[in-house]
């Protein structure tokens, strides 16, 4: 049964002080099936307090998005960066297990270093997966934007080296690299049809090919992605899992547009019902 999730990152960000208690304020107003909890670096020092608060809400949170900076540390490389990345990653896994999540989304490469030293990211993956398995969460590597090659190339490289690797596929990230249509090509069908993709981030994109000035996470309908074709194909391959909405819903003052988020859930349900 498909589930439409809302990323907590849509509501919680710098303008409202990254206050995780806002989840308790807004959750009941959102017409989603559950949440993808986004971890921030500023929360590590209070992770026990955060964990207890989130558990106390009693929400359905099947997915956690690991703190993005972990991937940047790995991309930079070096003994100290690897050690800190693994330590922080374990805290993310611990959080995921404690709040009942079964999937953990990760940017294996990230930030300005991105995929410039991809051998570092390849080297780190089995260590990360071993940690994730210890906490009984499914590690999902995201098709994050690249500044050297492209996500699909790296996904194929990773599958060759680690045949049972799992991914999360982000529509915006794919569109940024003009790779969304490759999703439908027979050449890459094995990636999707053999179960490597375990989760989808459903976001729109309004820029051109590798248009860094327009790398914004837009609501469905505010960019140029053909979501009718996307959901048609997803239906054809028999996917019936989780989707997450990540479109930024807070303004510069931190106020959250609940109506916009609920409209996103409605649009996705309409696509899924066709």
Q: Let me know if residue 230 belongs to a domain.
A: no
Q: Let me know if residue 50 belongs to a domain.
A: yes
- Total domain count, the chain: 1
d(CA 239, CA 138): 17
Q: Which domain holds residue 76?
A: 17-24+36-225
- The answer to whether 103 touches 132, Cβ cutoff 8 Å, is no
Q: Let me know if residue 255 belongs to a domain.
A: no
> In the prediction, which pLDDT does 115 show?
97
Torsion from C-alpha of 257, 263, 265, 270, nearest 10 degrees? -170
Q: Let me know if residue 269 belongs to a domain.
A: no
Q: Let me know if residue 235 belongs to a domain.
A: no
> In the prediction, which pLDDT does 274 show?
84
The token pair at 272 is: 């899924």
Q: Let me know if residue 231 belongs to a domain.
A: no
| DSSP SS3 for 178 | coil
pTM confidence score: 0.97
64 Cβ neighbours under 8 A, 6+ residues apart: 36, 37, 38, 39, 92, 95, 96, 99, 101, 103, 104, 105, 137
Q: Taking CA 108 as the corner, what is the angle to CA 82 and CA 268, rounded to the nearest 5 degrees? A: 150
- The answer to whether 249 touches 260, Cβ cutoff 8 Å, is yes
> In the prediction, which pLDDT does 192 show?
85
- Here the CATH number for the domain that contains residue 89 is 3.20.20.150
Q: Let me know if residue 186 belongs to a domain.
A: yes
> In the prediction, which pLDDT does 11 show?
98
> In the prediction, which pLDDT does 217 show?
95
Nearest in space to 141 (alpha carbons), one of 175, 112, 172, 164: 164
Torsion from C-alpha of 91, 96, 99, 102, nearest 10 degrees? -160
Residue 138 backbone dihedrals phi, psi, to 5 degrees: -85, 115
How confident is the chain (274 residues) per 10-residue block, as mean pLDDT? 96 97 98 98 97 98 98 98 98 98 98 97 98 98 97 97 97 98 92 92 97 95 97 92 97 96 98 92
> In the prediction, which pLDDT does 1 show?
81
Q: Let me know if residue 249 belongs to a domain.
A: no
């Amino acid at each position: 049964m498909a589930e439409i999730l809302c990323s907590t990152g849509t509501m919680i960000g710098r303008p409202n002080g990254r206050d995780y208690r806002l989840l308790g304020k807004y959750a009941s107003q959102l017409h989603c099936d559950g949440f993808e909890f986004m971890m921030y670096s500023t929360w590590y020092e209070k992770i026990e307090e955060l964990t207890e608060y989130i558990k106390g809400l009693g929400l359905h949170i099947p997915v956690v998005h690991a703190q993005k900076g972990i991937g940047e540390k790995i991309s930079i490389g070096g003994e100290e960066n690897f050690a800190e990345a693994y330590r922080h990653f374990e805290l993310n896994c611990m959080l995921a297990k404690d709040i009942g999540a079964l999937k953990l989304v990760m940017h294996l490469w990230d930030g300005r270093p991105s995929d410039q030293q991809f051998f570092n990211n390849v080297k780190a993956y089995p260590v990360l997966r071993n940690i994730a398995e210890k906490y009984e969460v499914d590690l999902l590597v995201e098709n994050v934007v690249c500044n050297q090659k492209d996500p699909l190339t790296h996904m194929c490289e990773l599958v060759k080296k680690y045949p049972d690797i799992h991914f999360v596929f982000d529509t915006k990230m794919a569109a940024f690299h003009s790779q969304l249509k490759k999703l439908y090509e027979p050449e890459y069908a094995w990636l999707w049809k053999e179960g490597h993709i375990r989760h989808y981030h459903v976001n729109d994109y309004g820029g051109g090919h590798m248009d860094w000035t327009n790398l914004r996470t837009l609501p469905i309908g505010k960019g140029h992605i053909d979501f009718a074709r996307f959901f048609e194909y997803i239906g054809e391959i028999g996917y019936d899992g989780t989707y997450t909405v990540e479109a930024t819903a807070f303004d510069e003052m931190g106020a959250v547009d609940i109506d916009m988020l609920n409209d996103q859930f409605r649009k996705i349900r309409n696509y899924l019902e066709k």
